[in-house]
């Protein structure tokens, strides 16, 4: 299953660099997004480095989810594809 990174998880003043908001391509509602909570996510950079994470919660009503990665994500990862296992 694939998803696209849409943004860092952030508030008005605080950006959390290890948490991202993902839009899952095949999911369009909150109920379907709740079924993939706990699955692992991996992002691979162009140099071959892989950063892994886990889906922790839903975000909104359109099927977006929050993912926590093991370390901070670079800005180049925005709007790139990730793989959900």
Q: What predicted TM-score, i.e. pTM, was given to this entire model?
A: 0.87
Structural domain for 8, as ranges: 2-84
Contact 65, 24 (CB under 8 A): yes
Domain count along the chain: 1
- Which of 3, 30, 19, 82 minimizes the C-alpha distance to 56? 19
pLDDT of residue 40: 96
Per-residue pLDDT of the chain (85 residues; tens, 9 = 90+): 999 999 999 899 998 889 999 999 999 999 999 999 999 999 998 888 999 999 999 999 999 999 999 988 888 899 999 999 9
pLDDT tens per residue across span 32-48: 999 999 999 999 988 88
> Who contacts 72 (Cβ-Cβ below 8 Å, separation ≥6)?
17, 18
CATH code, domain carrying 25: 2.40.10.190
pLDDT of residue 73: 87
């Amino acid at each position: 299953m694939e998803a696209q990174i849409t943004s860092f998880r952030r508030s008005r003043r605080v950006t959390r660099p290890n948490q991202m908001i993902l839009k899952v391509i095949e999911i369009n509602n909150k109920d379907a997004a709740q079924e993939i909570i706990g699955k692992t996510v991996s992002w691979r950079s162009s140099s071959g480095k892989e950063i892994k994470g886990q889906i922790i919660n839903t975000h909104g009503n359109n099927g977006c989810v929050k993912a926590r990665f093991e370390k901070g994500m670079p800005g180049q990862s925005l709007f790139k594809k990730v793989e959900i296992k």
